[in-house]
Amino acid sequence: MSEFLFWFMTAMTIGSALIVVLHSNLFYSALALVVTLFGVAGFYVFLWADFLAGVQVLIYIGGILILILFGIMLTNKISSVNISHSNFHQSIAAVIVLGIFSILGWMILRTPWLLIVQQEPEQTVGKIGRLLMTEYLLPFEVASVLLLTALIGAAMLSRKAN
Amino acid sequence: MDQLQNYLFIAAALFSLGLFAVITRRNAVAVLMGVELILNSANVNFLAFSRFGGMNFDGHVFALFVIIMAAAEAAVALAIIINLYNNYQSINVDEASQLKR
């Protein structure tokens, strides 16, 4: 059952990512990105990262994607044809990207990965919280300052100049 | 499904698709969506290595920081894009050669 679920999610994620990349209507791309992000959250669950799956749904889908939809709607007149857009150099880019993908795949298959078998942890939130408050305290504080700076900067930038 | 390589392949595919979007798309919002795909693929890699490399939660913390960075980046990028639209009436990244007009 979980095997089937895994491959179903793989197909869903990659398929919707293809729609994100290739669909000519930007609004449908953003909606397909919702499906991709949900699929990635599902992979997090498979990777025993339940807390991060929740964070992914809350921040990515609830926050970033809403921002992107706002961006699309504020910068396009829905009635105009301009919401779709032309792509260029697609064949050259496809060759480059396929090359990079095959190099990555070759690397993944050839590398002798060192695997350490582990039991599924009973809790993840407590351990992440403890790491954030001890070992990663400085990056944690820097991240909060960064978020504040980004908030002020975004508000400054998007304000209409008078 | 319990294999590291599967997750690495999924992450590589997501990365390639995101890179494709960044290269080919002309609309700035679509480029931003490609960047989000790339960040997600990095996160899948972090968590996969954390899960198969001893489960010591460092990868989880890194993935959390990547998500925080993505939130800040999306907010600033959209502010820039809206500014661009006010100045140029379009968000084609090829036309935007100056931030001020």
pLDDT recorded at residue B101 = 63
Q: Is residue B101 part of a domain?
A: no
Residue A153, CA distances (Å) to A41, A96, A110, B30 in order:
29, 35, 45, 22
pLDDT at position A162 is 58
Tell whether B12 is covered by a domain. yes
Instruction: Kindly give the confidence (pLDDT) of every residue in chain A, 162 residues in length, as a single tens digit, with 9 standing for 90 and above.
Output: 888 999 999 999 999 999 999 888 888 999 999 999 999 999 999 998 999 999 999 999 999 999 899 888 888 765 444 444 555 678 888 999 999 999 999 999 998 888 887 788 888 899 899 999 999 999 999 999 999 999 999 988 877 765
| A93 contact residues in B (CB cutoff 8 A) | 20, 23-24
Q: How many residues does chain B have?
A: 101
> How far, in whole angstroms, is CA B28 from its chain's centroid?
13
B61 domain-assigned = yes
B100 found inside a domain? no
Residue B27 has φ and ψ, to the nearest 5°, of -75, 130
Does B65 fall in a domain?
Answer: yes
pLDDT number for residue B42:
95
Which range among A102-111, B44-53, B92-101 shows the weakest confidence by mean pLDDT? B92-101
* pLDDT attached to residue A104: 94
B18 lies in which domain range? 4-91
What's the start-to-end Cα distance of chain A, in Å? Answer: 60
Listed in sequence order, the residues at least 6 apart from A128 whose beta carbon sits closer than 8 Å to its beta carbon are A51, B57, B60, B61, B64
**A131 contact B CB<8A:** yes
Cα A29 from Cα B37, distance rounded (Å): 12
Residue B64 lies in a domain: yes
Helix (H, G, I), strand (E, B) or coil at A135: coil
The residues in B 32-91 lying below 8 A from A, measured between CB atoms, are 32-34, 36-37, 40, 43-44, 47-48, 50-55, 57-58, 60-61, 63-65, 67-76, 78-83, 85-86, 90-91
Run of H or E residues at A105: helix A90-110
Mean predicted lDDT score pLDDT of chain B: 88
| Domains contained in chain B, number | 1
SS3 of chain B: helix, strand, coil, percent, to 5: 75, 5, 20
Q: Which residue has the higher pLDDT, A33 or B54?
A: A33
Residue B21 lies in a domain: yes
**φ/ψ of residue A25, rounded to 5:** -90, 120
B97 within a domain of the structure (yes/no): no
B55: domain CATH number?
1.10.287.3510
pTM: 0.89
